[in-house]
Amino acid sequence: MTIFRFSTLLLSIGLILSACTATTSISPTSSSPSSVPTEAPATQQTEAPTPVPDTPAPPAIDVPLVEAPSLVDIHFVNEMDGWGVTETQIIRTNDGGVTWYNVTPPDVTSTGYNAHNFVLDNEHAWLQITDFAKDINSSEVYRTSDGGLTWTKFTAPFGSGRIKFLDEKNGWAFGDLGAGAGSNAVAVYQTTDGGATWTQTYTNDPNQPNAGDSLPLGGLKSGLIPLNMQTAWVSGVIYADGTIYLYRTDDGGHTWSEVNPPLPTGAEHEQMSIDSDQMKFISSQDGFLAVRRSTQTGNYLVQTVVYVTHDAGNTWSLTPTLIPNGGSADFLSATDAIIYNGEQFYVTHDAAGTWNTVTSNVTFGENFAMMDFVKASTGWVITSDVNSHRSLYRTTDGGATWSLVIQ
């Protein structure tokens, strides 16, 4: 890989802070039983966006610069350092998203939505790419330990799916083997050598001789959430009223058991679903789970129901506030979380006991594509308009004012 040194790009734009901030406290909506534990075996701006202020120049990274990248995905490690995915590149920033550097593996020419990037820290990251035209049952996994300056490539025995690492060596993979008629075949893998080799611990594919049924074929799976190398959860949705699709393993994925968190009042006749990345463990004990509640009868209703655990997922408590519409959620600490419901940002500092709403200077509307917060004050939003033009915004005051970082 040819390396070029570029001098630091310094953005000098005047700071304009003219947006109005509105913060409202949300009274809990009754969702009893609110604390019953369960044993678990087109961007429309209201005002001109605030330009990004000057910041001290960070050291340049010795790879090519990328001008105004069109971001598909982002993951920030802290307020300055982050990783991004475009249609053709893996990129990095060390100044909060103003300057981006190309750290794409040398033989990778297409990324976009066919690529899954997992970031452990500023030095360690993995990239999984599946070539569906070549082989749907395998993928290439690239690993870097120096911030993307060099990569090592391995072939993995799964195609479409997700990889997640607990540290530099130990990780899980969740292979999607295909869905249809409300069912979804999957395979679960583990690695202990950083992704060089993978061992299958479970599959529910009836076409394979070793298929199991403790994690049933029925239901559409949205993801795998590991706590350690023994305990993990699989989330998703099944089209049965009053059922939260959540399964747990405590033996590295070999067997699974159903988890039944308490339902909000009236949800027995409504659909409950867990979308991708809506469950996260902040520590070995503390975790959040956001469930989408919806019904097609009468007036169409969509709410986000939030559960918390403080005992490593052995019990889950239903929190009192039902957030209207709901959407993307970022869980930041044992007490802090942010949810965007399409109109406002909902912020909690007491583990979802109470929420405040934050009205922003930018109305993202249907152009909202994704968000990534590193703490309650600092986060980013990617927007995508009807022409698939993507922009990047940043906030440093909890979502009240947003700076346009990439036009």
- Residue ranges per domain, the chain? 22-406
Q: How far apart are CA 292 and CA 274, in angstroms?
A: 6
> Is the CB of residue 34 less than 8 Å from the CB of residue 316?
no
Q: Where are the beta strands (DSSP E) in 319-366?
A: 323-324, 328-331, 337-340, 345-348, 355-359, 362-363
Q: Would you give the DSSP letter of residue 195? A: T
Specify the pLDDT at position 364: 93
| Tokens of residue 99, six digits | 């300057």
* Per-residue exposure over 134-169, b if at least 16 CB sit within 10 Å of its own CB, e if not: eeeeebbbbbbeebbbebeebebebbbbbbbbeeee
Collapsing DSSP to helix, strand or coil, 113 comes out as helix
Collapsing DSSP to helix, strand or coil, 235 comes out as strand
Specify the pLDDT at position 49: 46
Residue 36 region by backbone torsions, left for phi larger than 0, else alpha for psi between -120 and 50, else beta = beta
Tally the C-alpha atoms within 13 A of residue 288's C-alpha that lie toward its C-beta.
25
Q: How far apart are CA 51 and CA 315, in angstroms?
A: 45
Q: Which distant-in-sequence residues (6+ apart) come within 8 Å of 392 by Cβ? A: 71, 74, 97, 380, 381, 382, 383, 404, 405, 406
Specify the pLDDT at position 30: 46
Specify the pLDDT at position 134: 65
Of the candidates 397, 393, 396, the one whose C-alpha atom is nearest the C-alpha of residue 43 is 393
Fold (topology level) of 22-406: Methylamine Dehydrogenase; Chain H (2.130.10)
- pLDDT tens digits, the chain, 407 residues: what are they? 433 333 333 333 333 333 334 445 565 554 544 333 444 444 444 444 444 444 455 777 889 999 999 999 999 999 999 999 999 999 999 999 999 999 999 989 888 777 888 999 999 999 999 876 666 678 899 999 999 999 999 999 988 778 999 999 999 999 988 888 899 999 999 999 999 999 999 999 999 889 999 999 999 999 999 999 999 999 999 988 899 999 999 999 999 999 999 999 989 989 999 999 999 999 999 999 999 998 766 567 789 999 999 999 999 999 999 999 878 999 999 999 999 999 999 999 999 999 999 999 999 989 999 999 999 999 999 999 999 899 999 999 999 999 999 98
DSSP 44-63: EESSPPBPPPP-PPPPPPSS
Q: Which distant-in-sequence residues (6+ apart) come within 8 Å of 22 by Cβ? A: 357, 358, 359, 400
The CA-CA-CA angle for residues 278, 71, 98, to 5°, reads 110
Q: 367 vs 19, 21, 362, 373, 401, CA distance in Å? A: 20, 21, 11, 18, 17
Cis peptide before 28 (omega within 30 of 0): no
Other C-beta atoms lying within 10 Å of the C-beta of residue 114? 14
> Is the CB of residue 323 less than 8 Å from the CB of residue 356?
no
DSSP 125-189: EEEEE--TTT-TT-EEEEEESSTTSS-EEEEES--SEEEEESSSS-EEEEEEEEEETTEEEEEEE
Q: How far apart are CA 96 and CA 81, in angstroms?
A: 6
Q: How far apart are CA 93 and CA 265, in angstroms?
A: 45
> Is the CB of residue 288 less than 8 Å from the CB of residue 316?
no
Q: How far apart are CA 402 and CA 396, in angstroms?
A: 8
